[in-house]
Amino acid sequence: MSVARFIADQRTKYRVPHTITCVLLGVSVSWFYKWITRAESADGLHTDTDRRRARLDTAVAAAFTAAKGLHGSPRLIADLRDLGWEVSEKTVAHSMRRQGLVARQIKRRNGLTKQDKTAPKFPDLVQRDFSAAAPDRKWVGDMTEIPTECGQKLYLATVLDLYSRRLLGAAMGLHPDADLACAAIKMAVAARGGRQVIWRDEQSERVIFHTDRGSTYTAHAFTTLCRQLGIRQSMGRVGSCFDNAAAEAFFSSLEWEVLS
């Protein structure tokens, strides 16, 4: 393998900037560019458009592989911009089609929801509007099962802010119960600076915490804690994952990108 080919491979396969590799190997960047031009001409790429398209295809393929085949054109744009590319979603989509790259579809997650029909009912204050005008207006939460190599089941409870999509609170335990949900919401409140920050007084707008109607979130311990923290509970309909789609999407991505 030639030195120039090695530099090119480091850039496309491992995202190592060619400028750094050139310095480490003691060769000039201009020499590397001349090699690229000669190599592209030898491959029949005679125009600047051909060469740019070939380089883009290489970059798209590398970013797609680095994302484990999970990112489609909308998310690949961000990956490519980190590498210095300024391209549109349409251009990236065309590149993916040319190369036969198709993002894997996120599978639907099996939920842990068990409804307590005797528990208090809470209205749906979100109505599938998973946007927020400011931080601490709408939070969403859910739980999922985490597999382990030893066979022991672990459960993860989370709290996300719909304004920033930031993970504010997370708790892991052996049981998907109210204690786990309480730990996650306490962490979220602490992350935002405490109760006095998210609920200053009776006149201020209280944060909405939206979940499914599982018994975990209707348990007395959890509903009492929410009242003490000034949090308004909101719940989707029974059996409708779309009513809590933002939390569902977070866990689906987590399971594909981290746990798979």
Dump pLDDT digits (tens) for 6-61: 887 777 777 777 778 878 788 887 787 777 766 655 554 445 676 787 888 888 88
1: pLDDT confidence band, cut at 50, 70 and 90?
A: low
Contact by Cβ (8 Å): 143, 186: no
Q: What's the length of the chain? A: 260
* Tokens linked to 77: 């744009």
Query: Vertex 91, ends 86 and 93: CA angle to 5°?
Result: 125
The reply to whether 90 and 142 lie within a common domain is: no
pLDDT, tens digit (0-9, with 9 covering 90-100), for 221-236? 999 999 999 999 999 8
Name the domain boundary from 77, 99, 121.
99
Question: Where are any strands of DSSP class E within 48-207?
Answer: 138-146, 154-161, 167-173
The reply to whether 73 and 155 lie within a common domain is: no
The reply to whether 152 and 232 lie within a common domain is: yes
User: For residues 175 and 221, what is the distance between their CA atoms, to the nearest angstrom?
Assistant: 15
Name the domain boundary from 78, 99, 120.
99
The per-residue pLDDT for 52 is: 80
Residue 201 main-chain phi, psi, to 5 deg:
-160, 180
Nearest CA among 221, 238, 243, 256 for reference residue 144: 256
pLDDT, tens digit (0-9, with 9 covering 90-100), for 96-127? 888 788 876 544 445 555 666 677 788 999 98
* Tokens linked to 18: 């060619």
Q: What is the pTM of this model?
A: 0.55
Nearest CA among 189, 131, 179, 130 for reference residue 159: 189
User: For residues 218 and 211, what is the distance between their CA atoms, to the nearest angstrom?
Assistant: 10
Does 183 score more than 90 pLDDT? yes
Domain span holding position 247: 138-259
Q: Do the domain assignments include residue 133? A: no
Q: What three-state secondary structure class fits 260?
A: coil
The reply to whether 91 and 164 lie within a common domain is: no
Both ends of the chain: CA-CA distance in Å?
Answer: 34
The reply to whether 184 and 241 lie within a common domain is: yes
